[in-house]
Amino acid sequence: MKMIWAIIRPEYSQKVIDALEKIGISAMTRLHVTGHGAEIGVTANYSEIPKEMLMLVLPDIDVARAVKIISTMAKTWQKENPGHGAVGDGKIFVTYVDDAYTIRTAETRKNDSSLPAKTETSL
């Protein structure tokens, strides 16, 4: 199980969400965030740029497809440089998730290939 953190331009977030939902990925968290920093290879620094962050936890088998959709749908396409986006299009981070707990039902999901199997926990 892995978590995808996608930090993208706000004007592309709904387009990304719609594309993910079309392939059956609809559980995610959407946050309004601001970015601060510099692009590698660019002399300009950026401060307090509005962004959207999408957080998704998926079985390993779905991660590559989700990353491809996010990176394709969130890219600013440029006629003068086909295939490359623009500075500030965003970043995608993928991390491992060991366990996930549902507060309401006390269910846990362990990080293994049998997802989406659920197991009960006793408190």
Residue 19, pLDDT > 80, answer: yes
Q: Which residues contact 76 (CB under 8 A, 6 or more apart)?
A: 9, 12, 85, 86, 89
Q: Which of 117, 74, 96, 88 is nearest to 4 (CA)?
A: 96
The neighbouring-strand residues paired with 11 are: none
CA angle 106, 94, 61 (to 5 degrees): 70
**Looking at residue 118, what is its pLDDT?**
45
**Looking at residue 114, what is its pLDDT?**
47
User: How confident is the model over 71-116, as pLDDT tens digits?
Assistant: 999 998 877 777 778 888 899 999 999 998 989 998 888 875 444 4
Whole-structure pTM value: 0.79
Residue 21, pLDDT > 80, answer: yes
Give the 3-state secondary structure of residue 12.
helix
CATH number (domain holding residue 22): 3.30.70.120
Distances in Å between the alpha carbon of 112 and those of 2, 27, 59, 100, 109?
A: 10, 19, 8, 12, 8
**Looking at residue 123, what is its pLDDT?**
44
Domain range for 13: 2-120
Give the chain's domain count. Answer: 1
User: How confident is the model over 27-69, as pLDDT tens digits?
Assistant: 999 999 998 766 666 666 667 889 999 999 999 999 999 999 9
